[in-house]
Structure 1
Amino acid sequence: MPFCAGPLFAAHTPKTLELTHLFLLGIVYLSFISLGLPDAVIGVAWPAIRQDMNQPLAAVGILTITITLCAAASSWLSSRLIERVGTGLITAASCLMTALALLGFSFAPSFGWLVAMVIPLGLGAGAVDASLNQFVAAHYTSRHMNWLHGFWGVGAATGPIIMGLALAGEGGWAGGARHIGLAQLALAVVLWATLALWRHSPQKPITSHEAAGESPLVFKPVATQALWLSPLAFLLYVAAEMGTYLWAASILVTNRGVTLPEAGVWVSVYFGSITVGRFSAGLFSNRLGNRQIVTLGISLAAIGATLFAMPALPNAINLVGLVLMGLGCAPVFPSLMHETARRFPAGTARKVIGWQMMAAYAGGSVIPAAFGLLATWVGLGAVMPTVVLTLAVLCLTVRRLNHLT
């Protein structure tokens, strides 16, 4: 029986309930770190995996596409799973699934085994991603949503370090996958031991309108257009963020004359600016509100992308633009996600968040790949103007969505 089912958490006094909520918030933060940890396994380890298994460079596409399709499928089904078994059980089971997949990955005797292992890896990642985002949007403030996604960045940054140390040592890529898998397994044990905490989730956070003494939020009738505009916003946002992340190094080396090591550093700075921006945005997101902070973020990202897109400017200004792009992107995803629970009634919001995560996976894989075709046919110089256009369409999409909801 989970330890939290005991007397300490059974008493529903205000003090013990507050303690329970605090423990649960800590578990959610740990879960977001674990969500980012496995992201390093394929990308960082692929050169070594490819050499050991004698695979062509393009074979990594089989792994990434399989993960994306499985994650998108489980995100789509997440609302039904939440209704049947609850967020806590989904999170614990998904974490256990990804841990076992990573451990199996580390013992893979062939490339076919790797493909088999990324199926549960993708299914687990998609289910826990959608479930946790839905839970936080429904039960915590925008501040926590931004900070939680910042902790996802901590996990995503820690994973490459673990894998890099393993590749530099005797363990190799298999050792790196094993270490990350064991970390996931330890968290899965914690999640299974604390399942009862999820039954005492905090109430829906008070909105700024309610805090000011105004009437509680009243939902507009759900418009069909809003149901597809909301996932579209996530597809566009992730396409812009990941498209920049994927092609920034190539643009810097080919069109700006930056060395490859320096380009790698600046891409890391871009990713770091997103993480730092999310922690910073959490400080004032409750005061500004989701909609205003999303508008400000998209505007700053568009300014940064425009500066980075202009080869006539000095490299220093281009690089400032890349950092501004990251800082602007920072609050958009978590604040849009958090606002979903305020746009739609609870049952509809759960379904829409699943659709949003599915669209986000599509936007992070299909669209950046399409940018690659654009770079091949037109040139790398066309990528960032396309990102700017994507951000402009995103701005219009969000404005229309705000009007409908």
Structure 2
Amino acid sequence: MHLALLTIIYLAFISLGLPDGVLGVAWTAMRQDLNQPLAAVGLLTITLTACSGLSTVVSGYVLQKLGTGPVVMISGFLTGLALLGFSLAPSMGWLLALSVPLGLGAGAVDAGLNHFVAAHYSSRHMNWLHGCWGIGATLGPLIMGATLATQGWQGGYQTLATMQLALAVILLLSLSLWQRENAKPPAEVHNEAQQARIKPVSMAATWLAPLGFLLYVAAEAGTGLWAASILVNSRGTSPATAGLWVSFFFGSITAGRFAVGLVANRLGNRRLIRLGLLTATLGAVVFAIPSLPAPLSLAGLVMMGLGCAPVYPSMMHETAQRFPAELTAKVIGRQVGLSYVGSAGVPAACGLLAAYAGLPMVMPALILVLLALLWVTERLNQLT
């Protein structure tokens, strides 16, 4: 029963990642069909993120009333139907309307599964859970890129909708497994909590840590959203090839997270964050140089993904080490909230930058975001 439920949870987080990298790949074709400017994708991103954030805020009350299994199941049907609606949408207005249920469903799955795994499984499974998100974020652009040439972006969204709805059916059939799962956290979770160091911290640290999440998610989401447009519009790459490249970016994040999980305890969170950010910044610099041959540009994008891999999980895991127990929950809440701000605000701002200064200016802007994150994390190390 334990293994069956854990497998379903991993599949659910894969499905959560499926739509995340797709919009950037599909947008070049979508905006032409719907007669929209390049920057209009920012409206969709903001709507999706705002609804995900709202869903996360109220998730505690909903989870208490309904339970994790039903909430995740309902959210699966909600996101699947919303993706199906995307494939049939005749105008930008419909896309905006459908972004509401898509965002609400994604936020509920995110909050519900993170809470459930944190309460019932060890930290190892939490790390691998986010690796499963990367599997979905890798498959999504790959599926969209493969279907663009033959079935258009509509076919890509139909494929993703079918996968989401199939998972929702599996979740419906597995509701009894969620009810039987032991509610007591494993011993490893208790031991880790007892080992957390209690240190006096400044108010600045309680806001610097969430700011770090804003900056990290901004860099990752900005690259995932705009890399395909940069390749297609500035470097003459075909949409299908651009989709493949974006899938490599998310794939390197995924592979890196599974690999880092094997050595994370040995290296430590702070060292992993530092090494990851330096690697990601170097990769972003390589990808930002337009005159480099395609293999080197791709290597830069992959290097950036590998560098990004340990940053988010390590920052989240380090929160309990940086702050005393009575502050940890509050700081984590701020981190999740500002993550949504970063995933919407900065990529949308990159759209405005691309519209007024050109697409080649997007990657230099994201490099500055990574450098700012490096400063924030180093300053946070000094304060805690």
**TM-score of the pair, normalised by structure 1:** 0.76
Shift of 1:235: 0.8
Residue 188 of structure 2: aligned partner: 206
Matched residue type, 1:195 = L
Residue 54 of structure 2: aligned partner: 73
Residue 4 of structure 2: aligned partner: 23
Are 2:192 and 1:192 aligned?
Answer: no
Are 2:282 and 1:290 aligned?
Answer: no
Residue 16 of structure 1: aligned partner: none
C-alpha root-mean-square deviation of aligned residues, in Å?
3.9
Work out whether residues 260 and 310 of structure 2, in 8 Å CA contact, stay in contact via their aligned partners in 1. yes
Matched residue of 2:188: which SS? Answer: coil
Q: What is the rounded CA distance, in whole Å, between the counterparts of 1:226 and 1:260 in structure 2? A: 43
Mapping 1:1-400, distance limit 5 Å: 20-39=1-20, 42-46=23-27, 49-50=30-31, 53=34, 58-108=39-89, 111-164=92-145, 167-169=148-150, 173-198=153-178, 199-201=181-183, 203-204=185-186, 206=188, 216-220=195-199, 224-248=203-227, 259-261=236-238, 266-308=245-287, 320-340=299-319, 349=328, 352-374=331-353, 383-400=362-379
Change in Cα spacing, 1:39 to 1:323, as seen in structure 2 (3 Å) is closer
Segments of structure 2 that go 5 or more residues without pairing to the other structure are: none
Work out whether residues 50 and 56 of structure 1, in 8 Å CA contact, stay in contact via their aligned partners in 2. yes
Matched residue of 2:195: which SS? Answer: coil
Q: Deviations over 1:354-375 (max 9, x none)?
A: 5433322322232133345556
Change in Cα spacing, 1:164 to 1:202, as seen in structure 2 (3 Å) is farther
Shift of 1:377: 6.2
Matched residue type, 2:185 = Q
Change in Cα spacing, 1:277 to 1:390, as seen in structure 2 (3 Å) is same
Matched residue of 2:196: which SS? Answer: coil
Shift of 1:160: 3.6
**TM-score of the pair, normalised by structure 2:** 0.79
Work out whether residues 196 and 320 of structure 2, in 8 Å CA contact, stay in contact via their aligned partners in 1. no
Q: Percent identity?
A: 58
Shift of 1:163: 4.0
Which of the pair has more CA radius of gyration? 1
Matched residue type, 1:299 = L
Q: What is the rounded CA distance, in whole Å, between the counterparts of 2:355 and 2:87 in structure 1? A: 35
Aligned residues: 380
Work out whether residues 130 and 354 of structure 1, in 8 Å CA contact, stay in contact via their aligned partners in 2. no
Q: What is the rounded CA distance, in whole Å, between the counterparts of 2:217 and 2:80 in structure 1? A: 26
Matched residue of 2:208: which SS? Answer: helix
Work out whether residues 49 and 173 of structure 1, in 8 Å CA contact, stay in contact via their aligned partners in 2. yes
Work out whether residues 32 and 149 of structure 1, in 8 Å CA contact, stay in contact via their aligned partners in 2. yes
Matched residue type, 1:333 = Y
Change in Cα spacing, 1:183 to 1:109, as seen in structure 2 (3 Å) is same
Work out whether residues 209 and 380 of structure 2, in 8 Å CA contact, stay in contact via their aligned partners in 1. yes
Q: What is the rounded CA distance, in whole Å, between the counterparts of 1:67 and 1:311 in structure 2? A: 31
Shift of 1:328: 0.8
Q: What is the rounded CA distance, in whole Å, between the counterparts of 1:311 and 1:265 in structure 2? A: 18
Work out whether residues 14 and 134 of structure 2, in 8 Å CA contact, stay in contact via their aligned partners in 1. yes
Q: Deviations over 1:282-313 (max 9, x none)?
A: 22124334333223212322333345556798
Change in Cα spacing, 1:334 to 1:168, as seen in structure 2 (3 Å) is same
Change in Cα spacing, 1:96 to 1:112, as seen in structure 2 (3 Å) is same
Q: Deviations over 1:91-146 (max 9, x none)?
A: 22322221232234444465433322221101111222233234444544444333
Shift of 1:327: 0.8
